[in-house]
């Protein structure tokens, strides 16, 4: 709130850009030097004068920016002192008025953003590695929606492709109808794994798998029937897990949906003169990227072909301003080829498409490959739940709604663990770490908010508040942080990075802990107590709202 105004005021006065000034601003270690300071060295040098002279002159000549109660010059520094009490008052009013909408804005009003995320390959079950796209995409969708964008959440199922040919081939050889009925997803997975293991040694098997896919694309009845059955069984499981994790999806439209449009798509690119024949296959050539196949030698289509059709179809139905693809960083080249193809085909909106990549989930240094072993997301979730349940049984056995709280805390821990590092970095899956609920974790933040709730259950903040009473370091820190909430959400949106929000929330939770460990809220002094109640009411609301944008619930008690 206040930083923006300071930056603008200084930029105008000094004839600098907003960005330049923003880069100079610092937070003094010692608060007796203010809350924000502007070191004058660089600008003074440019103006060929001494930094302290510039600082003194600025102090005299600039008007107080909004939310600032005092400006002082101290040697080469210009120091700004925040008016905490008016800032606090604004925040308290706003949190009470907007409640679960505090931090939300209307900046994106009228703009449609398509966010494609999760998009699992449903030839196999929901593995832990697919958590990434799912929770990053879900959280980005919440973040955009909170800023007024109309978000269309699309799940682009991997429900087509050679993998289905392989699965059919495997089922023909080793499948068991009874087992499929009883244990569907585990049975399909075992077939998937067996096929890959055997195909590594046996080229003929690989060929057979491909032939099954050719049959499927050719509309063969038997192949289609099997495909439908396998997709149905796996999809049912996926839906169950989305429901469990409260992941909202507006449109489930998989690759198979585009199958009937592919001939036309290929024709379109051919007519534009963009396709070349190479060794029986059709390829797209680019000036600055490696060529990409759109139709294979055997006449079957490919991942890219379906993406070309899907992008155009989504543009037609959603008229989006922006479309995000939340997908693995290993697919970067694929998306470059996709966007470039759309661009050279003359679609202006190609520039509005963006790949939001994330790092690989590794397991003891190796990428988590399905073929070598499989970790079911649900198994991890259930382990987390049972760990939380045993902690509750030990520490708070009389807690109400135990099951629900255990689920909220356990899922929160797993989701937060994934979101808590910059998405572009690889993550190493380590169950002990996922199930560690201390420190920078969702349970820590949830616990902080539940503690605030328990105080607020004893006394609610009265109407009147003398916020100038909140003058300790700890209280000011919280007020300063609360004021930043909206801009943190915006930054997370600008960079498509939910970890900016996790970092913010864990720092705020820490500040709340520092505060209530030192300053009791329910003191006898009426006014002080009122002010502190307002402070924790606002802080709790921000913790709850922030977690909710990440897709995490906050229990009132735990
Ligand atoms: N189904 C793919 C996978 O699991 C991800 C899809 C990414 N999105 C796309 N439009 N290609 O690897």
CATH number of the structural domain spanning residue 24: 3.30.1360.70
| CB of 156 sitting under 6 A from ligand 1 | yes
| Domain-embedded: residue 389 | no
406 and 359 part of one domain: no
Query: Is the domain of 346 the same as that of 468?
Result: no
Same domain, 76 and 214: no
| Nearest residue (CA) to ligand 1, atom 5 | 119
| DSSP line for 190-230 | HHHHHHHHHHHH-HHHHHHHHHHHHHHHTT-HHHHHHHHHH
224 in the same domain as 351: yes
Q: What is the pLDDT of residue 27?
A: 87
Give the chain's domain count: 3
Ligand 1 near 159 CB (within 6 A):
no
Give yes or no for residue 460 having a pLDDT over 80. Answer: yes
Q: Is the CB of 127 under 6 A from ligand 1?
A: no
Please give the helix or strand (H or E) that residue 115 lies within, else none. strand 112-116
Q: Give yes or no for a contact between 146 and 549, defined as CB atoms under 8 angstroms apart.
A: yes
Please tell me the distance between residue 307's alpha carbon and the centre of ligand 1 in angstroms.
9
- Picking from 361, 366, 360, 310, the residue whose alpha carbon sits closest to that of residue 335 is 310
Same domain assignment for residues 428 and 531: yes
**Residue 1: per-residue pLDDT:** 64
Residue 452, pLDDT above cutoff 80 = yes
Does residue 298 form part of some domain?
Answer: no
119 lines ligand 1 (CB under 6 A): yes
Would you state the pLDDT for residue 495?
Answer: 98
Measured distance CA(517)–CA(531) in Å, rounded:
17
More confident residue, 464 or 116: 116
- Looking up tokens 């790092």, which residue turns up? 359
The answer to whether residues 160 and 306 touch, using CB atoms and an 8 Å cutoff, is yes
pLDDT at 366: 65
pLDDT score for 3 = 81
| 119-126 mean pLDDT | 91
Express each pLDDT in 22-61 by its tens digit: 889 998 988 889 999 999 999 999 999 999 999 999 999 9
pLDDT in tens, 224-274: 999 999 999 999 999 999 999 999 999 999 999 999 999 999 999 999 999
Report the pLDDT averaged over residues 472-477: 95
Residues 6+ apart with CB under 8 A from 222: 215
Among 408, 426, 425, CA closest to 558? 408
368: confidence class by pLDDT, cuts 50, 70, 90: low
Give 115's strand partners: 153, 324
Distances (CA, A) of 456 to 232, 449, 535, 538: 48, 10, 11, 11
305 CB less than 6 Å from ligand 1? no
Asked whether 151 and 145 are in contact (CB, 8 A), the reply is yes
Q: Which atom of ligand 1 is nearest to the CA of 325?
A: 8
- Same domain for 331 and 418? no
Report H helices in 29-183.
Answer: 41-46, 51-61, 84-98, 131-146, 162-174, 177-182
Looking at every residue in the chain, the average pLDDT score rounds to: 94
Residues 6+ apart with CB under 8 A from 241: 126, 377, 378
Name the CA radius of gyration of the chain, rounded: 28
Backbone angles phi, psi at 151, to 5 degrees: -100, 130
Q: Of the candidates 82, 101, 133, which is a domain's last residue? A: 82
Last residue of a domain, one of 28, 59, 82: 82
Residue closest by Cα to atom 6 of ligand 1: 119
Mean pLDDT of 207-233: 94
Distance 327 CA to ligand 1 centre (A): 6
555 pLDDT above the threshold of 80: yes
Provide the pLDDT for residue 300: 85
Last residue of a domain, one of 82, 100, 132: 82
* Residue 393, domain member (yes or no): no
Q: What is the structure's pLDDT at 367?
A: 66
d(CA 33, CA 392) in angstroms, rounded, equals: 46
Residue 283 resides in a domain: no
Burial class (CB in 10 A: 0-12, 13-18, 19+), 526: exposed
Name the token pair of 46.
Answer: 């440019």
For residue 109, being part of any structural domain is answered with no
525 class by beta-carbon count within 10 Å (0-12 exposed, 13-18 middle, 19+ buried): exposed
Tell me: do 258 and 129 sit in the same domain.
yes
* Same domain membership, residue 360 and residue 446: no
> Which range of residues forms the domain containing residue 471?
399-550
Whether residues 414 and 532 share a domain: the answer is yes
- CATH at residue 546: 1.10.730.10
> Does 278 have pLDDT greater than 80?
yes
Pocket residue to mutate for ligand 1, from 123, 133, 136, 331, most atoms within 8 A of Cβ: 331
| 295 domain-assigned | no
Residue 215 sits in a domain of what CATH number?
A: 3.40.50.620
329 close to 424: Cβ distance less than 8 angstroms: yes
Looking at the structure, tell me whether residues 362 and 413 fall in a common domain. no
Sign of CA dihedral 43, 48, 54, 55: positive
Shared domain check, 161 and 13: no
Q: Which two tokens stand for residue 413?
A: 């821990």
pLDDT at res. 470: 96
Band of residue 114 on the pLDDT scale cut at 50, 70, 90: very high
Task: Specify if 381 maps to a domain.
Answer: no
Q: Global pTM?
A: 0.92
- pLDDT of res. 449: 98
Phi-psi region at 246: left, alpha or beta (left = phi > 0; alpha = psi -120 to 50): left
Contact 147, 493 (CB under 8 A): yes
Residue-level pLDDT at 504: 98
In a domain, 279, yes or no: no
Q: Which pLDDT band, with edges at 50, 70 and 90, does 306 fall under?
A: very high
Question: Which residues, including other chains, have CB under 8 Å from residue 398's CB and lie 6 or more apart?
Answer: none
Who has greater pLDDT, 371 or 55? 55
**Residue 122 has what DSSP assignment?**
T
Q: Tally Cβ neighbours within 10 Å of residue 293.
A: 18
The CB of 184 under 6 Å from ligand 1? The reply is no
Mutate to test the pocket of ligand 1, among 156, 307, 323, 339 (most ligand atoms within 8 A of CB): 156
Same domain, 7 and 77: yes
State the pLDDT at residue 243.
Answer: 96
Report the share of the chain in percent with pLDDT over 70: 98
Question: Which tokens go with 273?
Answer: 């003169």
What pLDDT was estimated at residue 536? 98
Tell me if 307 CB under 6 Å of ligand 1: yes
| Model confidence at 392: pLDDT above 70 | yes
Within 8 A by CB and 6+ apart from 10, the residues are: 16, 21, 38, 58, 62
Q: Separation of 436 CA from ligand 1 center, angstroms?
A: 31
Torsion region of 176: left, alpha or beta (phi above 0 gives left; psi -120 to 50 gives alpha):
beta
């Amino acid at each position: 709130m206040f930083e923006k105004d300071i930056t603008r005021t200084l930029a105008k006065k000094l004839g600098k850009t907003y960005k330049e000034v923003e880069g100079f601003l610092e937070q003094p270690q010692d608060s007796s030097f203010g809350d924000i300071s502007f070191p004058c060295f660089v600008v003074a040098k440019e103006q060929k004068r001494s930094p302290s002279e510039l600082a003194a002159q600025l102090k005299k000549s600039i008007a107080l920016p909004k939310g600032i109660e005092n400006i002082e010059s101290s040697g080469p520094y210009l120091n700004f002192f925040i008016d905490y009490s008016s800032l606090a008052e604004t925040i308290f009013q706003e949190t009470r008025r907007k409640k679960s909408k505090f931090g939300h804005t209307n900046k994106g009003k009228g703009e449609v953003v398509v966010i494609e995320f999760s998009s699992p390959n449903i030839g196999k079950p929901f593995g832990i590695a697919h958590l990434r796209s799912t929770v990053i995409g879900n959280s980005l969708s919440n973040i955009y929606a909170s800023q007024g964008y109309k978000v269309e959440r699309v799940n682009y199922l991997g429900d087509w492709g050679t993998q289905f040919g392989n699965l059919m081939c495997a089922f023909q050889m080793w499948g068991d109808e009874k087992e499929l009925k009883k244990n569907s997803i585990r049975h399909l997975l075992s077939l998937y794994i067996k096929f890959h293991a055997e195909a590594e040694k046996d080229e003929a098997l690989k060929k057979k798998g491909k032939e099954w896919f050719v049959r499927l694309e050719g509309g063969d009845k038997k192949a289609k029937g099997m495909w439908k059955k396998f997709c149905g069984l796996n999809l049912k499981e996926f839906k169950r897990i989305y429901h469990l994790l409260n992941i909202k999806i507006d449109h489930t439209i998989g690759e198979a949906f585009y199958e009937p449009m592919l001939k036309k798509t290929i024709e379109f690119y051919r007519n534009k003169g963009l396709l070349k024949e190479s060794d029986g296959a059709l390829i797209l050539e680019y000036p600055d990227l490696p060529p990409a196949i759109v139709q294979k030698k055997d006449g079957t289509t490919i991942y890219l072909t379906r993406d070309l059709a899907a992008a155009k179809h989504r543009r037609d139905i959603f008229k989006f301003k922006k479309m995000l693809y939340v997908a693995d960083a290993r697919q970067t080249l694929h998306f470059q080829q996709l966007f470039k193809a759309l661009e050279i085909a003359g679609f202006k909106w190609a520039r509005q498409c963006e790949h939001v990549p994330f790092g690989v989930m590794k397991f003891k240094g190796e990428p988590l490959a399905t073929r070598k072993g499989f970790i079911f997301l649900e198994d991890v979730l259930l382990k987390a739940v049972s760990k939380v349940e045993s902690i509750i049984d030990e520490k708070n056995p009389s807690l109400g709604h135990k099951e629900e709280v255990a689920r909220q805390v356990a899922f929160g821990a797993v989701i937060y663990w994934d979101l808590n590092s910059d998405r572009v970095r690889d993550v190493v899956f380590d169950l002990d770490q996922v199930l560690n609920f201390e420190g920078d974790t969702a349970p820590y933040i949830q616990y902080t908010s539940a503690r605030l709730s328990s105080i607020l259950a004893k006394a609610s903040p009265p109407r009147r508040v003398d916020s100038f009473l909140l003058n300790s370091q700890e209280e000011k820190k919280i007020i300063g942080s609360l004021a930043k909430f909206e801009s943190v959400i915006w930054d997370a949106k600008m960079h498509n990075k939910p970890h900016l929000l996790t970092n913010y929330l864990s720092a705020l939770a820490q500040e709340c802990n520092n505060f209530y460990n030192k300053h009791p809220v329910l003191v006898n002094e009426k006014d002080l107590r009122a002010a502190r109640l307002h402070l924790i009411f606002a802080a709790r609301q921000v913790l709850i709202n922030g977690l909710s944008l990440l897709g995490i619930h906050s229990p009132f008690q735990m």
